[in-house]
Amino acid sequence: MANPSLLISLSFCFLLILQGSLADDVNVSYSRSRSRSRSQESFRQRNECQFDRLQALEPDNRIQAEAGVIESWNPNHDQFQCAGVAVTRSTIEPNGLHLPSYTNTPQLIYIVKGRAITGTIFPGCPETFEESQREQGQGRSQGSRKDRHQRLHHLREGDILAIPAGVAYWCYNNGDQQLVSVSLLDTSNFNNQLDDNPRRFYLAGNPEDEFEQLRREGGRGREREGRQAWRGGQGSSEDYNNIFRGFNSRLLEEAFNVDQETVRRLQGQSDNRNSIIRVKGRLDLVSPLRSRQEGQREGRWEEEREREREEEQRRMRRGGGYDANGLEETFCSLRLRENIGDPSRADVFTPQAGRVSTVNSFNLPILGHLQLSAERGTLYRSAIYTPHWNVNAHSVIYVLRGRARIQVVDHLGQSFFDGEVRQGQILTVPQNHAVVKQAGSEGFEWVSFKTNDNAWISPLAGRTSVIRALPEAVLANAFQISRDQARRLKYNREETFLLTSSSSRREDESERRAAA
């Protein structure tokens, strides 16, 4: 007769194995469903990467507001249609407020310059920033309610901010210089179930459409005429209003239990300030105040947090990846921000060539839901970012500073792009197309938005490259070279991604000799 304890042990082991298998199946099914959803949503894009040349693009549209400017690139351009994205750039003056809005797509926002306070509104989440009763009694009448709102995020240069589709947010420039940011809207994302057109829905003001190009070009005229006819003369053809403007005013009075004048203000009637307004005085927010000592402690805490993140990434690499168990971050306390501009944050660093920082679903888990990531790079004078291809993502490059020569090669081995890019321009590199960057005399800085939450590249030169991994005999026969030549081809570069050029080394040597 079998030992009962042995049977119990075997049954327990079987249950554990079954549970693990079911969990793996659920994770795999979820991952596949996400990939399949994105694949289905982006099916229309599969035939839209059939173009002959790339271009370094400047913004096509400019909207002047009371306290800033919004510029956009034409999303109908072949490059953006191929990648399934749209791009805007916002400049907010000090004390300027970008009015609350949401989009039909996930967004990645990179802070190019300045600092700001932003708030995101997640439906159903608690208002955790609130005034105390004592403060209320001191600063307001006893009959008024205390202010409450969802938590705030303090942004600075180099920050990446992730905004899910349909989540409303606002941004206030609380600094003493212009706030400049670049936003990528992923129109082909599975979270966007409308169409491939980017749409921004404003909750306030009387804003203009950031993507006016879509209305000026083919396919949109009949929709616009229909909208004007439906309005029945309620405004000119150039009116673009917030979402409250389309509701009946009496219904809004009932819904909010307010008077007619408040509803008129809510609908933005006679408001010509556009989407970025100037705040009267300063924006009064419920926010924790920091002393100088707290600021110093926060700086040390940031350094410690960076070390912890690096250690966490090393553990995940050793463990074979990141398995979300749903308990890392609750929905209402999702971390939306990561700084990739700080030099000490670099993931790859070569003292003579430059540095690269990345943000993906490993160090900012929300990107796993958005299916997006980003790369921030700096190349010193004449340095080279090794020839490579993006394995699983399109790459949308925005030039932050300086100039560089970029070459892109297609699957036929033909030059797809060979030219100089400069500050403020955008270049899209389609998935699997080989690309190389070389900085100009003043260096080169960029941020790349990528359409995968764990985008990775395959280098062609350097210590971790494809060429380095091939056997010498294969190289010798493939390129009709000697074994010695194949050996030099493999081992002449010990760097990984960032390479120094022979010309820059000669220039540095000449400068040292001249100084001596």
Q: pLDDT by residue (tens digit) across 328-385? A: 456 677 889 999 999 999 999 999 999 999 999 999 999 999 999 999 999 999 999 9
Burial 338-376, CB ≥16 within 10 A → b, else e? bbbbbeebbbbebeebbbbbbbbbbbbbbbbbbbbbbbb
Least confident of 1-15, 100-114, 175-189, 395-409: 1-15
Domain 340-514 has CATH 1.10.150.170: no
Number of residues that this document lists for the chain? 516
Whether the Cβ atoms of residue 434 and residue 406 lie closer than 8 Å to each other: no
Residue range 286-315, pLDDT digits in tens? 566 554 444 454 555 555 555 555 555 555
What span, in angstroms and rounded, lies between the C-alpha atoms of 341 and 343?
6
The mean pLDDT value for 102-120 works out to 95
Per cent of the chain over pLDDT 90 is 58
Q: Model-level pTM?
A: 0.80
| 3-class secondary-structure state, position 254 | helix
- pLDDT of 16 higher than 50: no
Element (H, E) at 500: none
Domain residue ranges of the chain, discontinuous segments joined by +: 61-134+145-278, 289-318, 340-514
The count of other CB atoms within 10 Å of the CB of residue 236 is 8
pLDDT at 234: 39
Q: Are the CB atoms for 185 and 105 separated by under 8 Å?
A: yes
Distance CA 191, CA 165 (A): 6
pLDDT at residue 495 is higher than 80: yes
Residue 159 in tokens: 């920050």
Q: What does the DSSP assignment read for 272-318?
A: -STTEEEPSS----------HHHHHHHHHHHHHHHHHHHHHHHHHHH
Q: What is the mean pLDDT of the chain?
A: 80
Can you tell me the mean pLDDT for 106-117?
96
What does the block give as tokens for 90? 């916002």
Inform me whether the pLDDT recorded for 51 exceeds 70. Answer: yes
Same fold, 61-134+145-278 and 340-514: yes
74-78 contacts at long range (C-beta below 8 A, 24 or more positions apart): 74/213, 75/187, 75/197, 75/198, 75/211, 75/213, 75/214, 76/213, 76/214, 76/217, 78/48, 78/51
Q: Would you tell me how many other CB atoms lie within 10 Å of the CB of residue 498?
A: 24
117 phi/psi in degrees, rounded to 5: -115, 135
Mean pLDDT for 415-419 is 94
CATH architecture of 61-134+145-278: Sandwich (2.60)
Span 306-325, average pLDDT: 52
The H or E element spanning position 394 is none
pLDDT at 456: 93
- pLDDT of 271: 83
